Amino acid sequence: MIETNLESKISTGALFQNRVIRTILLSVFFLQIGIWVRNYAILLYVIERTNENPVAVSFISVAEFTPIFLFSFIGGAFADRWKPKRTMIWCDLLSALSIFVVLMTLIFGSWKAIFFATLVSSVLSQFSQPSGMKLFKLHVPENLIQLGMSMYQTLFALFMILGPIIGTFVYQHYGINVAIGIMGVAFLLSAASLLLLPPDREENRKEKTTLWEEIKAGFRYVLNNRSLTLLGGCFAAAGLAIGLTQPLTIFLITERLGLPKEQLQWLMAASGIGMILGGGVAMGLSKKTTPQMLLVLGMTVSACGFLVMGLSTQLWLTLAMQFISGLFMPCIHIGINTMILKNTESDFVGRVNGILNPLFMGAMIITMGISGWLKQTFSLVAMFEAAAVLFAVGIIIMLPLLKRMEAQLETE
């Protein structure tokens, strides 16, 4: 036991001694402040200016999510072409510039330019995020990748709780102009922190290829790598399950529990607290288990959670399942990101990210789009049970990788 605790302290110490991990986490901290202030300040501003016009509000989501599909493949390919440190710094600087342009437009022109801020920063994130993953691959020792991803996910989970509070507070107390100024400063601070990264490595490209050829090479790489192909199937199954139930959570409160819709906040709080604590749980598990097991554990708990939530008619039980599902949700994201990095050559990290991430998002949006119609046709219970089945399908897809892992452990 003493030896295990000692190893844990050593690995955690090595994690924080790694310059790349420290710098990327600092950059993500500033980015999350900017993104959440952007998300909530712009949402509240548009609601106020349009008298809660649903079309105008929906354009915010369009500006935020559309670039994931239009630019993810291209951004991933350019992340493999360009130097990652330089790419991330330029993306943050251009995001800040676009924010200040929008601020000037708001002061002297039309308020509708506010959508531009969301669109530009969302597009640039499709170039910056794969570059960050590539830096992990290039500079972080393999034994620290999973632990580093755990810290990364914990920071995201923390802002899922704090982000809406910060964004709402800034807008309500200081208004849209100050909120946009804070966004720009946050992006500039992120760019400044990235200057602490090690210099980009010089890479000699043996032959010149077109962007389209590199994107096709990325798809071939994923299709020829069995681990990545199975991971993509698992990712898509999880996206379908989450998208199927996310818009219907409110009906757990009103239909299954017979409570006022305002009680939904307690479900959201339970999930958010679970995710924050889950980041710490995943960090502990990362030191003792493989990313394959981490992913399967998260999928299994999620399947059980959705199964019970769909059947539950007791508030305490629904809250408990929401908390437990949130607690193990980071295991899914950490397991997937770690497996991507461990099963991908550094030259393809950007493109693999650009291919697999839209699988999850696309699957989620598809089922989100039809969940309302399906609920009119089937019962709410059936919808949550279907989500549990989809998680089970994801687990089945992962079984060959688990068997391969066990075989490797036996040979060692």
Q: Residues 23-52: pLDDT tens digits?
A: 888 998 999 998 888 888 887 888 788 776
pLDDT at 193 over 70: yes
What DSSP line would sit under 339-385, residue for residue? HHHHTS-GGGHHHHHHHHHHHHHHHHHHHHHHHHHHHHHS-HHHHHH
pLDDT at 7 over 50: no
Tens digits of residue pLDDT in 210-233:
778 888 888 899 999 988 899 999
pLDDT-based confidence at residue 360 (cuts at 50, 70, 90): confident
How confident is the model at residue 11, as a pLDDT?
A: 55
pLDDT at 59 over 60: yes
Percent of the chain topping pLDDT 70 = 90
Q: Which helix (H) or strand (E) holds 212?
A: helix 211-224
How confident is the model at residue 392, as a pLDDT?
A: 94
How confident is the model at residue 205, as a pLDDT?
A: 55
- For residue 220, what are its two tokens? 């071939």
How confident is the model at residue 129, as a pLDDT?
A: 84
pLDDT-based confidence at residue 405 (cuts at 50, 70, 90): low
| SS3 assignment for 45-111 | HHHHHCCCCHHHHHHHHHHHHHHHHHHHHHHHHHHHHCCHHHHHHHHHHHHHHHHHHHHHHHHHCCH
How confident is the model at residue 354, as a pLDDT?
A: 83
- If you average pLDDT over each of 131-135, 203-207, 382-386, which comes out highest? 382-386
pLDDT at 10 over 60: no
DSSP code of residue 202 = P
Average pLDDT, whole number, for the chain? 82
Q: Which CATH architecture is the domain 21-194 placed in? A: Up-down Bundle (1.20)
Tens digits of residue pLDDT in 233-268:
998 999 899 888 887 888 888 888 888 877 777 887
Please check whether residue 79 is in contact with residue 131, taking contact to mean a CB–CB distance below 8 angstroms: yes
Q: What are the two backbone dihedrals, phi and then psi, of residue 184, each rounded to the nearest 5 degrees? A: -60, -45
Report the C-alpha gap between 383 and 388 in whole angstroms: 9
- For residue 323, what are its two tokens? 């908390």
pLDDT at 3 over 60: no
pLDDT-based confidence at residue 6 (cuts at 50, 70, 90): very low
Please check whether residue 228 is in contact with residue 338, taking contact to mean a CB–CB distance below 8 angstroms: no
The SS3 call for residue 306 is helix
Burial of 403 (0-12, 13-18, 19+ CB in 10 A): exposed
Mean pLDDT of 376-393: 91
From 8-22, 26-40, 106-120, 254-268, the region with the lowest mean pLDDT = 8-22
Tens digits of residue pLDDT in 272-331:
888 888 877 877 777 778 888 888 999 999 999 999 999 999 999 999 999 999 888 888
Q: Which of 230, 236, 221, 225 is nearest to 400 (CA)?
A: 230
**Greater model confidence, 309 or 102:** 309
Mean pLDDT of 121-145: 82
pLDDT at 364 over 60: yes
How confident is the model at residue 407, as a pLDDT?
A: 63
pTM: 0.76
Report the C-alpha gap between 94 and 117 in whole angstroms: 11
How confident is the model at residue 12, as a pLDDT?
A: 58
Amino acid at 287: K
The domain 211-411 belongs to what CATH superfamily? MFS general substrate transporter like domains (1.20.1250.20)
The SS3 call for residue 175 is helix
From 64-73, 127-136, 167-176, the region with the lowest mean pLDDT = 64-73
User: How distant, in Å, are the alpha carbons of 154, 162, 271, 279, 327 from that of 157?
Assistant: 5, 9, 10, 7, 10
pLDDT at 92 over 80: yes
Contact residues for 331 (Cβ-Cβ < 8 A; gap 6+): 278, 281, 282, 285, 294, 295, 297, 298, 301
How confident is the model at residue 321, as a pLDDT?
A: 93
Q: Which of 375, 377, 269, 250 is nearest to 309 (CA)?
A: 250
**Please, what sign has the CA dihedral across residues 235, 228, 362, 44?**
positive
Task: List, by residue range, all CATH 1.20.1250.20 domains of the chain.
Answer: 21-194, 211-411
Mean pLDDT of 404-411: 62
- If you average pLDDT over each of 117-121, 180-184, 351-355, which comes out highest? 180-184
pLDDT at 16 over 80: no
How confident is the model at residue 409, as a pLDDT?
A: 54
Report the C-alpha gap between 201 and 82 in whole angstroms: 11
